[in-house]
Amino acid sequence: MDVTTARERLEDMLVELDRSIGVLRGDPVAVREYSAADAGSDLTDNDRAQAMLTVATAQRQAVVEAIKRVEEGVYGRCVDCARQVPEGRLEARPEAARCVQCQGKRERRR
């Protein structure tokens, strides 16, 4: 995947995430756009909305950082070991910051 494609995909993801986050926060404009027919019916389960908001916010942060790496010309390289992140992994998760090994190490440390 070339950097231009990666950037486009990341920017699409950012727009999508911003919309989801707006809906989850109960932003009236976003909710209206998202679900004109039955606004907010999904949001009655507050815990679920809160969990989704946490995930969406973390992913948004990852996407923002990936766009920054595109701008800095280091996109596609693992932020820990600086090796090339495999193409297939970037295809599946364009916002991935680490190769599988470093991500695994990081998750085990938590």
Give the interface with Zn ion as residue ranges (CB under 5 A).
78, 80-81, 99, 102
Supply the minimum distance, in Å, between the C-beta of residue 106 and Zn ion: 9
Rounded to whole angstroms, the Cα distance separating 12 from 17 reads 9
- Say how many C-beta atoms besides its own lie within 10 A of residue 106's C-beta: 12
Decide whether 32 or 83 has the Cβ nearer to Zn ion: 83
Supply the minimum distance, in Å, between the C-beta of residue 23 and Zn ion: 34
Decide whether 67 or 78 has the Cβ nearer to Zn ion: 78
Do 48 and 72 contact (CB within 8 A), yes or no?
no
The residues near 63 (Cβ < 8 Å, ≥ 6 apart) are 10, 13, 14, 17, 94, 95
Decide whether 63 or 97 has the Cβ nearer to Zn ion: 97
Do 64 and 14 contact (CB within 8 A), yes or no?
yes
Supply the minimum distance, in Å, between the C-beta of residue 105 and Zn ion: 8
Supply the minimum distance, in Å, between the C-beta of residue 73 and Zn ion: 18
Decide whether 8 or 87 has the Cβ nearer to Zn ion: 87
